[in-house]
A = this chain, B = another copy of it.
Amino acid sequence: MSEEQDAREQALVEQVLAAFEGTPSPRLKQLVQALVRHLHAFVRETRLTTEEWEAAIGFLTACGHITDDRRQEFILLSDVLGLSMQTIAVNNEARGDATEATVLGPFFTEGAPEIPIGGELPGGAAGEPCWVEGVVTDTAGAPVPGARIEVWEADADGFYDVQYGDGRTAGRACLHSDDQGRFAFWGVTPTPYPIPADGPVGDLLRATGRSPMRASHLHFLVSAEGLRTLVTHIFVRGCAYLGRDSVFGVKESLVKDFVRQEPGTPAPGGRRIEGPWTRVRFDIVLAPEKEGSDAHRPVPDASGDRRRR
């Protein structure tokens, strides 16, 4: 590239940055100027062609048009580019051995039914029974009594209750740790399922040779007074999609042994189970809440609930 050409391109970047110099909010100014720098660097580095620019406009337009109250293609796009997980990483700085965070996903709902320790996720979501137990501690190792533990998961067919369409609640519950920080409940053994791949993001996955599948997982949202709220999953060791989870949610520290139990094995709480079942241990370590930090509590979106991905 000639010096003249380089100077022209750089001058344009400076001109655009200067246009945002008068932004009243310092944070908005920082964000928009950083975005300008990175996007212009992308265009200059790749020597983006006019046709590619038009394809990008067309892609974003298609994402906009498929997005409605039940389908959020821009979140899907953020997910498959790893940007959702990077935002979560940035907002959950590593703190000692604190349990790692992962994506909230679109299927969290407020007001899941309360169950006692050892209880079952109500509604009888289909699937192989899974006993989940563990203890909640802080980073100093002290048990956290009374931690609020919200749990939700897909059924054996890969569907969450909000996808059933009949208003039923299933596969989700809320419980509290006991005075020694312990918790336990019956869920179902997680199975893999695909993110919606019938839109432009699905086209992108196909064009880039990627799978739409999410690795098998079980969601947790854990909160306790004075500690950082944790949004995470646990994943099933051995799942074929662990290394290619479509939203990059898998962290090695979150992969757990779901230990297979033969039919007839005596189950916790004296439960009688005809077929096979699994059990898994998940000990949860909550980080201290940092003064003035970005609270990680999920924020409801415009429609007041999370949308399907």
Residue positions of A touching B, CB distance < 8 A: 1-2, 4-5, 8-9, 12-13, 15-16, 19-20, 22-25, 28-32, 34-36, 38-54, 57-58, 60-61, 63-65, 67, 72, 74-75, 78, 81-91, 93-94, 100, 204, 207-210, 244, 248, 294, 296, 298-299, 301-302
Report the 6 A-B pairs with minimum CB-CB distance, sorted nearest first: A64-B64, A16-B82, A4-B94, A22-B209, A23-B208, A38-B38
Q: Could you tell me the distance in whole angstroms from the C-beta of A76 to the nearest C-beta in chain B?
A: 10
For A19, what are the chain B residues with a Cβ–Cβ distance below 8 Å? 82, 208, 210, 244, 248
For A48, what are the chain B residues with a Cβ–Cβ distance below 8 Å? 31, 87, 90
Within the complex, which residue of B20, B35, B49 is in contact with A42, where a contact is CB–CB below 8 Å? B35
Kindly report how many copies of this chain are found in the complex they form together: 2
Report Cα–Cα, A32/B88, bound state, in Å.
21
A to B CB contacts below 8 Å, 17 in the list: A5-B93, A13-B86, A15-B82, A16-B82, A20-B208, A23-B207, A25-B207, A29-B208, A31-B46, A32-B204, A35-B81, A36-B82, A40-B82, A57-B75, A63-B64, A64-B65, A64-B67
Q: Beyond A57-B74, A58-B301: 20 further Cβ-contacts under 8 Å?
A: A12-B82, A13-B86, A15-B248, A19-B208, A24-B207, A31-B46, A31-B52, A34-B42, A35-B42, A38-B39, A48-B87, A49-B91, A50-B298, A53-B78, A53-B84, A57-B78, A58-B302, A61-B67, A61-B302, A64-B67
Closest to A53 in B: B87
Report Cα–Cα, A22/B57, bound state, in Å.
24
Report Cα–Cα, A291/B1, bound state, in Å.
16
Report Cα–Cα, A89/B14, bound state, in Å.
14
Q: Could you tell me the distance in whole angstroms from the C-beta of A54 to the nearest C-beta in chain B?
A: 6
Most B C-beta atoms less than 10 A away, residue of A34, A64, A90? A90
Q: Could you tell me the distance in whole angstroms from the C-beta of A182 to the nearest C-beta in chain B?
A: 28
Q: Could you tell me the distance in whole angstroms from the C-beta of A301 to the nearest C-beta in chain B?
A: 7
Report Cα–Cα, A40/B38, bound state, in Å.
10
Within the complex, which residue of B2, B12, B208 is in contact with A32, where a contact is CB–CB below 8 Å? B208
Given contacts A36-B82, A38-B38, A207-B25, is CB(A61)–CB(B58) below 8 Å?
Answer: no
Q: Could you tell me the distance in whole angstroms from the C-beta of A101 to the nearest C-beta in chain B?
A: 10
Closest to A82 in B: B16
- Once the chains bind, are A50 and B299 in contact (CB under 8 Å)? yes
Closest to A100 in B: B8
- Once the chains bind, are B89 and A12 in contact (CB under 8 Å)? yes
Q: Could you tell me the distance in whole angstroms from the C-beta of A123 to the nearest C-beta in chain B?
A: 29
Given contacts A64-B74, A81-B39, A86-B43, is CB(A49)–CB(B93) below 8 Å?
Answer: no
Most B C-beta atoms less than 10 A away, residue of A24, A29, A36, A208? A208
For A53, what are the chain B residues with a Cβ–Cβ distance below 8 Å? 78, 83-84, 87
For A45, what are the chain B residues with a Cβ–Cβ distance below 8 Å? 34
